[in-house]
Structure 1
Amino acid sequence: MRPWLNFLSFMTAAGCLGMACTGNIGPVIGFAAGDGGAGSTSGTGGDDPPTTADATITTSGVTGSVGCGGLPEDDTDGDGFTELQGDCDDCNALVNPNALELVTVGGDGGAAPEPVDDDCDGIPDNVPGPCDEGLPLDDADPLNAARAVELCKMASGPGDWGVVSAAWVMVDGSPPPAQAEQLAGFHLGHGLLPGFGPNVTPKGGARLLALSSGTARQQDDEGFESPSGFDKRYEGDFPDGFPKDPRDCGDLVPAKPSDPTAIEIAIRVPSNVHGFSFNVNYVTYDWPYACTDFNDYFIAFLSPRPTDLIDGHILFDAASNAMSINNKFIEVCTCEGGPPCNLDGLMYACPRGTRELLGTGFEGRAGTSWLVTSAPVEPNQEIKIRWGAYDAGDHLLDSTGLVDNWRWLTDEDVKVVTLGDRPEL
């Protein structure tokens, strides 16, 4: 087996957050590096691991032994491919035509390892670059929205990994509204942005995906409408498992979705992958109106759902709050006489101020800054991911979610966990 540099040990300054454990919300240091031996391209605490168009994790260059027996028509390593089907190392189940190409790096010193051709395309370490340069802001092709989050590879057929399909949908997965005026408003709710204001830049590539209950635009973009309330005049239904009552808010009756916009992407998982992560950033005009029936939500659903979750929703804080103004990750904010800010008994430290809201139309409101979440998948499995934003009941006080930087994870023990991808304050 190939030894792996472990880029998947997440570290926080105040304990692990999300499903796997509990702790207070605090500054979090991105991905931790592995042993950093000779030839390693690993980062240090607070830095992201090396990135490619499909978010690879680096490996060492050790392959399985040669001469392991079997005939060319035999699948000796049990990875689903024979030599006749293009398996270039039938002694190593991590190497086959449906594998993710990984960057070969050194281990604990000594001679540099031989590069490995993980995907058997004849070119070792053939890792592509980003694929979202030059995409139009108002691009209506959902496959280009996938490219904007670094889901670059399209599946060529049933035995090939990559994006299988993509579609614009409502937050419950149903089709967009059919009436022309409503459909035009729906499509203003998604955008492929070069940034969100001058202080929020993509986490990978040149573009990020914005999904909004208002307009997914920056303040100076064509089509922008104030997030104080852009009524697109259509309604939707709750996604599975919603409404979710926020903790510490008493008894609420969350209102049904208004002006929802979402995308659903079907992806076939590479044969050497066990999970994925992506970055998300949420801003809302709901501030300072916490704990109301009309608070907006940003959702992320995975299908098939991860084990131990009652539904497929994978975007939540340590108290299981879905992404809204009532989520513990709201750190981009301010208030009169503060921070800290007391909103009807909910306390917000607001350590990041409001600099990240400049140029977005959400000045004086609130957001999370960039976060990262991860979830497990099975090799060769076909999955669906659905991201979306919706108003709750009133078409007022819009919210926008940003998604970027999809990464495949090769660790076999990936958990559903939402962490703050924060620089030191």
Structure 2
Amino acid sequence: MQTNLLSELASTDAGLEADRILRSCVHCGFCTATCPTYQLLGDELDGPRGRIYQIKSLLEGDEPTRTVQTHLDRCLTCLNCMTTCPSGVQYDKLLATGRELVEEQVQRPLTERLLRRVLRLVVPYPRRFTPLLKLGQSVRPLLPATLKAKLPDGGALGPLPQSRHRRRVLMLENCVEPALTPAAVGAAIRVLDAAGIEVIRPGGGCCGAVSEHLAAGDEARGFMRRNIDAWWPYMAPDAADPAEAIVVTASGCGAMVKDYGHHLRDDPAYTHKAARVSELARDPAELLSAEDLARLPDPIARGVPQHIAFHPPCTLQHGQGLMGRVEGLLRAAGFELSPVRDAHSCCGSAGTYSILQAELSNQLRARKLEALEQGGPALIATANVGCQTHLAGGAEVPVVHWLELFDPAPAARRWQGLRADTSTQSAAA
């Protein structure tokens, strides 16, 4: 693709990167075939190729408009298009540049500005988010069905091990996961402990993804620096007993942490540290092997249903390139995975997207749940807190983090009850 960027942009690092990305696009259109919003709306401007053209026009001097902003807002950043693209176009980085450019020059309606501001002020901060969540859960029976669906019961954290191990990893303190799905956090720590891996929780907080998706790049980088400062004493070259990895249980956060090196590449104080963080970031599926899981109590013998469905989050398969990794671990452990049509497609969660673009998000969830539940699984497993809570809001069966299936904590009664309930539902059907 030929480009003619504005002179004031062409000499900047961001402009040079955007120019390189644009020139790598050959307008083949393969990306539209896997774009969820294009499939729903049928509008070229709501597909990756159309959005690339709109961003190119902005960078070449066209005036940003509310219409362009709307088309960029509708992108889920699921990155399906990047997996499909034969030319390796780094669409995610181009989209971030385009969104920030439009956000600076196009004023949103007041209601949108307020909602996005509230999301940025609440969601990344557990001390603000958790009390509001608990308040909502306390009055859940009184809420409309649409709000009830956004207030799931994510279980309990449970007892955490105090064991010391030779292998040590840091764990990201995700912003909403400990409040929304504490059972997933507890399961991750207990599974890693049983596999001989000690988990260190040094603090920090939100990975920065919420701010990044809301076109607040400087704010996102602030969260990144805070995390790096919290982690660095445990991963610096001169650390007495350095951690071998940074484990991130939510795949959405994992994709962001793995990109810290890119986001802070122009910050001299953090360039080296951020690159080191990106090198060490691991999803649990990368850290744990089938042999590690085989040393844990057999989940199926403990009452976990054998026939399940797995939803691979976009951030796991497209963002981190770990397509099929969790599925392989589950099959090795004896689980029977229900076939899922269009497993590559997005469930519609996409961070704050389910709030800001609720109609499109719910349409995508309905499609995804139809595919996941078609084979009659007893439960749905996934690897990201956003997907888990979003799907749970409309699913007919429980939705859990896949690590919960291997949790060695006494939970047989929970799974036995689930199996009985599922059998009852099947018989009734």
TM range (shorter): under 0.3
Using CA pairs under 8 Å that are at least 6 residues apart, name the structure with larger relative contact order, 1 or 2: 1
Higher strand share: 1
Higher helix share: 2
